[in-house]
């Protein structure tokens, strides 16, 4: 049995567990029943199919048909979900096929209350409250760090990049040094005579 198939079978067993099915919003099953969504992960050239029925989600590596294809990098998918559907990440997602299905899937993923509800039901309310507080603390610090890094990079590009000489400037400098060296040698020879 292939490793991917084993991994998918474990994930499918997890997705079919009662706790998971109870935590998934009903809108996912009602809005997307009998739909197949192809998720293309470009950076690792991998396709995964979400087959949705009225009460289950199944992942597979292949399908003859699909209703919508959604393509992006793995990092972009994760950042899109974490950022609750930020336009800076959604603009990097390519959608082909049934736009209505893609729109419904997008709205479910980007709805922070749906994501919060799923996580809260999976880990428990107390743990979720703790995780949410930690996320608030960490996200603020990451935002500040990210902003500082962005400003530093912008300053480097705007101001410091001019300090690094180009290849032509280096060659001109070397030519001038050689010229100065040869003139110095000529002066030394004249001085010695």
> What DSSP designation does 165 have?
P
Closest CA to 118 of 13, 14, 10, 25: 25
Please write the tens of the pLDDT for every residue from 40-51. Answer: 888 887 888 878
pLDDT of residue 99: 76
Alpha carbon distance 50, 18 (integer Å): 18
Instruction: Spell out the alpha helix ranges (H) of the chain.
Output: 3-15, 18-23, 26-32, 74-82, 87-90, 99-110, 112-123, 125-155, 167-192
pTM exceeds 0.85: no
Please write the tens of the pLDDT for every residue from 157-176. Answer: 767 666 777 888 899 999 99
Which one has a higher pLDDT value, 6 or 186?
186
Helices (H) and strands (E) in the chain, counts: 9, 5
Average pLDDT, stretch 64-86? 74
Closest CA to 12 of 51, 66, 70, 65: 51
Tell me the CA distances in angstroms from 17 to 10, 22, 23, 80, 88, one per residue in order.
11, 9, 10, 26, 34
């Amino acid at each position: 049995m292939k490793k991917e198939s084993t991994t998918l079978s474990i994930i499918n067993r997890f997705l079919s567990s009662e706790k998971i099915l109870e935590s998934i919003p009903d809108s996912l099953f009602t809005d997307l029943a009998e739909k197949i969504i192809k998720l293309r992960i470009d950076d690792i050239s991998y396709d995964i199919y979400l087959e949705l029925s009225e009460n289950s989600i199944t992942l597979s590596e292949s399908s003859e048909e699909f209703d919508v294809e959604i393509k992006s990098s793995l990092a972009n998918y994760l950042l899109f979900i974490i950022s609750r559907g930020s336009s800076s990440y959604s603009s990097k997602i390519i959608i082909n096929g049934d736009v209505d299905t893609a729109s419904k899937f997008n709205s479910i993923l980007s709805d922070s209350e749906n994501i919060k509800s799923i996580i809260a039901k999976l880990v428990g309310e107390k743990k979720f409250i703790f995780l949410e507080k930690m996320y608030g603390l960490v996200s603020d610090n990451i935002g500040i760090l990210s902003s500082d890094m962005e400003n530093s990079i912008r300053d480097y590009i705007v101001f410091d990049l001019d300090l690094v000489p180009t290849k032509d400037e280096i060659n001109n400098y070397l030519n001038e040094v050689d010229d100065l060296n040869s003139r110095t040698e000529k002066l030394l020879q004249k001085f010695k005579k």
